[in-house]
Amino acid sequence: MIITCSRVIILDNSQIENTIVDIRKRNGVVTTFNKDKISNAIYKALAATSKADRGLADQLTSNVIDKLVEQGFTSSRTPTVEDIQDIVESTLIDSGNSDIAKSYIVYRHERRKLRDEKMNVLNLKVLDPVSKKFDLNCLRVIASRYLFRNSKNEIIESPTQMFERVAILVGIGDILYDSQIFDKSGNSTQNVDDATSYLEKLDAFDYKFKVGDYFFNKWHFRSLINHYVTLANKGQMKLGFKDVLTLLAAKKLDQYADKITEYFDLMVAQDFLPNSPTMMNSGGRLGQLSACFVLGMDDGMEQIMKTSSDAALIFKSGGGVGINYSNLREEGDIVASTSGVASGPVSFMNIINTVTEVVKQGGKRRGANMGIMEAWHPDIEKFITNKTEPGVLENFNISVGIWEDFWHSLVNTDGNYVLRSPRDKKPVKEINSHQLIDLIALSAWKSAEPGLIFFDQINKYNVFAKARQTPLKATNPCGEQSLYPNESCNLGSINLANLVKRQADGTFEFDWQRYEETIRKTTRFLDNIIDVNNYPIPEITLASKESRRIGLGVMGVADLLYKLRIPYNSKEGFEFQSKLSEALTYYSMEESVAIASSRGDFPLCSKTEYPEGKIPVAGYYEKPKDSHSYEWDALIAKIQKHGIRHVLTTTVAPTGTIAMIADCSNGMEPAFALVFEKRVTVGRFFYTNKIVEEALKEHGLYSDELLAKIADNYGSLKGLEEIPQWMQDVFVTAMDIHWSDHLMAQSVWQQWIGNAISKTINMPNDVTVEDVKSAYLLAHELGLKGMTVYRDGSRHQQVLHMTSENAQKIFEVAPSKSVIQYVTENITNPYIKSQINAALALKVHDEELKIEAPIQDEVSEERLCPTCKNNLVFVEGCSMCIECGYSGCTSG
């Protein structure tokens, strides 16, 4: 077949010689000549001068090709990229399109400048395929966090090589399940010493084995050995290790190169990315791939120091740690062994904080911690207020753990609540639960901490409690992943913004089939990670493989909704997000069953509630069956027949860094702002959400003046006269959405997600402490497993902020109809209803009077002092009783 870019169809020998077949790229590689690339470049120059005309671009491209032939470039004399670009410039000028020529020259200059910047950032002389494709900001993140470096801190791999080493490691997970090697029944016996002996000579096997064109480095080889040993110890290896190596050498397993390519393509297409440690450590010495861990901490110096040591190893390997400190006796309690007094849990948190400070994660960054204390602990008030001052426990997120007894005391009784000793569970003192929730709300209002973790909700459908013989009592640092002590979790997120199809009219449609396919592929991706992971301590290896917990999640939700023109906080938006969530868990669990059929279920599966037909999915039980989109009963029957590979499969995690690499919005969060301002010496520049930028241009609204207005409006389109109402409704930011709608969005995901959701409940600066408390009450009613509020400006150091000196919000937000309907129809507890109605300023329908009337009586009752029932006043950011002196700012 002859590939040609001339307009001749039937070619004789002389015409063949005058046809341009190849092109020499900047790196010296010769590749097939493609005239469409010239046409696209010219079209972009035309568009830049407001003359976007595809026909003219094609005609000018034909002129360029004619000129190339005139200058002697043929099938035997290959032009370079620079030759072609020079001729494009001269052709544009000769054709009388000097303005387009100028635009093309500028375009060419900017492209050259961008290439140079990318090469500088990546320490490359020639750009690799991924570097050409990815945005410069994406590459900056990859370079700073993930690319391997030498002893001089110089980057020594390209982004393509980085994604390849990850994909190769994941592919190794598939190889040993090949039918030639794997025996699910566990009836085979092998000498694992043959395999482990290779661990002593890894250097000799660096890049010696390969699958297809993918070579295993020595750390890949180590994972192959360890994976083999694990399966052999379970009696599942039909062949000795040397026989497996023989199969590799004989290319009998080369078909797995296709699986490696599949994993590589998922990441390079920015459709899916695993959590950061996987990209940091795959194919490297550390080899630790998990993002989150939970450690136990029992009340004894030896146990405390063991936990601190384990935490250091986890930080060093790139992971974060969650610890529940409630087992530690309260400050001032007697220590029998020394006749001294206990210093309390908060003091021991400082030990972990210091360890975190000095041990960088994977040599890249400091670690993250979740510190949890349950509401019944005698030191709970000190714990709550500990982080209201800057500089305290800066490497910690802290959360208060809530159980049924506290909640019952808060919403159903007079509020009496007993604090108990961790040592013997005997009562220490009695407090008022209303005062405690006020203290939590005030602290969160001031400093965005603590968060709340609803352990009653977490354990409501916890099918694993039966096997572990205890409820879940801790989470990872961001609260979305509940884990038992020594468990880890491997997370990964699908970029939903990529999973769209463009229609003939230019609009987008979500590709549900591709979504299903991606869920299935990525479930297997994460399953393999469990097998090839190099865990930091033996206890974590055991616990992680007993449960095989994975956390498949999403990112790009806001960008997807922008593309589909669906308002985030609308009825349609909530219903669409609910369906996305249900599909994620359904297909990942169904794929988990399919994997269990061939590889086996997780080791403790038979001891859980799965065989009884129970599943860890609230929506299955709490949503009407006729509203389900999938056949959950059929899936449960499959689980009962085949088991399931993972105790839980889905989590919506924070995706700050990987979302930057995927070039999409974070997790399920709405966009923080649509336009960011950057001030430099020569003026103001604006970073604009790409989807919004395209929409503004499409409707002739794009201008620097408008971008400045948006930036000065907290990055929002709301309230701007120039912006059509539909755009204001669709392109919403976090601050455009009422805090109650943030909770509603979190809940529609939580209904179907097995683990939990990492989500910030954004609140404007002018919300009250009572609003924060009402958010807690609504969150629990909505079935959330935890929540974190962020009042704008409450952090001592705010990571995301408005850079415009002129920023001034010109809009107000209100709860959506969906929230009002939910509160009106579903909340029945009088205390909860009155608090939420007051916060949302809702009106209820009085059936007898047939009028809309505010709930004045109930509101005033619940604004009373919880101690003496007299009026509370709000002074200097704090609720205070002018009768008895009760204050929400101090413990009583």
pLDDT for residue 805: 59
Top-ranked range on mean pLDDT: pick from 11-15, 54-58, 144-148: 144-148
pLDDT of residue 855 exceeding 50, the answer is no
* Band of pLDDT at residue 853, cut at 50, 70 and 90: very low
Does 796 have pLDDT greater than 50?
no
In DSSP notation, 581-649 reads HHHHHHHHHHHHHHHHHHH---TTGGGSSGGGT--S-HHHHHS-GGG-SS-HHHHHHHHHHH--S-S--
Instruction: Give mean pLDDT, residues 766-775.
Output: 94
How sure is the predictor about 797, in pLDDT bands with cuts at 50, 70 and 90? very low
The whole-number average pLDDT for the span 187-199 is 95
In this prediction, residues 610-639 reach a mean pLDDT of 97
Tens digits of residue pLDDT in 835-850: 999 999 854 433 332 3
The HSE-up count of residue 257 (CA atoms within 13 Å, CB side) is 14
* Higher-pLDDT residue of 40, 147: 147
Inform me whether the pLDDT recorded for 804 exceeds 70: no
Is pLDDT at 754 greater than 50 in this prediction? yes
What's phi and psi for 733, nearest 5 deg?
A: -110, 175
Assigned token pair, 649:
């499969």
Task: List, in order, residues 6 or more apart from 217 with CB less than 8 Å away.
Answer: 165, 206, 207, 283
pLDDT reading at 790 higher than 80: yes
Q: Which residue has the higher pLDDT, 12 or 356?
A: 356
The model's pLDDT over 479-507, given as tens digits with 9 standing for 90+, comes to: 999 999 999 999 999 999 999 999 988 89
- For the chain, the straight-line distance linking the first and the last C-alpha, in angstroms and rounded, comes to 87
Q: Which is catalytic among the residues 97, 432, 476, 837?
A: 476
The mean pLDDT of the chain is 87
Q: How many CA atoms lie within 13 A of 150 on its CB side?
A: 6
CA distance 402 to 112: 57
DSSP at 369: E
Q: Using N-to-C axis directions, what is the helix angle for 632-642 and 571-599, rounded to 10°?
A: 20
CA atoms 691, 798, 773, 780: torsion sign? positive
- Mean per-residue pLDDT, 361-369: 64
Share of the chain above pLDDT 90, in %: 66
Q: How far apart are the C-alpha atoms of 868 and 876, rounded to whole Å? A: 21
**Given 478, 489, 865, 881, the catalytic residue:** 478
Contacts 24+ apart (CB under 8 A), 465-471: 466/607, 466/608, 466/609, 467/604, 467/607, 467/608
Do residues 293 and 315 make contact, with C-beta atoms less than 8 angstroms apart? no
What would you report as the CA-atom Rg of the chain, rounded to the nearest whole angstrom?
30
Query: What's the confidence (pLDDT) of residue 637?
Result: 98
Give the residue, 688 or 99, on which the prediction is more confident. 688
Instruction: Please give the share of the chain, as a percent, with pLDDT higher than 70.
Output: 88
Q: With 90 as the cut, is the pLDDT of residue 684 above it?
A: no
Give me the phi and psi of 501, to 5 degrees please: -120, 135
Quick: pLDDT tens for 298-326.
988 899 999 999 999 998 888 889 999 99
| Between residues 359 and 230, the one the model is more confident about | 230
In three-state secondary structure terms, 574 is helix
Contacts of 377 (CB under 8 A, 6+ apart): 326, 330, 345, 383, 419, 420, 422
Phi-psi region of 552 (alpha: psi -120 to 50; beta: other; left: phi over 0): beta
Banded model confidence at residue 14, pLDDT cuts 50, 70, 90? very low
Return d(Cα 571, Cα 875) in angstroms, integer: 38
Active-site residue flag, 476:
yes
Looking at the predicted structure, is the pLDDT value of residue 803 above 50? no
Instruction: Compute the CA torsion angle 410, 413, 415, 419 (nearest 10 deg).
Output: -90
Q: How far apart are CA 185 and CA 237, in angstroms?
A: 10
| Nearest Cα residue to 367 out of 444, 474, 280, 273 | 280
Spot the catalytic one: 164, 330, 381, 480. 480
Quote the pLDDT of residue 20: 82
The partner residues of 490 in beta bridges, in order of sequence, read 550
pLDDT, mean of residues 758-780: 94
Q: What is the 3-state secondary structure (H, E, C) of 185-222?
A: CCCCCCCHHHHHHHHHHHHHHCCCCEECCEECCHHHHH
Backbone angles phi, psi at 125, to 5 degrees: -95, -25
Confidence of residue 25 (pLDDT cuts 50, 70, 90): confident
Residue 329: CA count within 13 A, CB half-sphere: 15
Q: What local confidence, expressed as pLDDT, does residue 7 receive?
A: 37
Using the predicted structure, report yes or no on whether residue 337 has a pLDDT greater than 70.
Answer: no
Told to judge if 480 belongs to the known catalytic residues of this protein, a careful annotator would answer yes
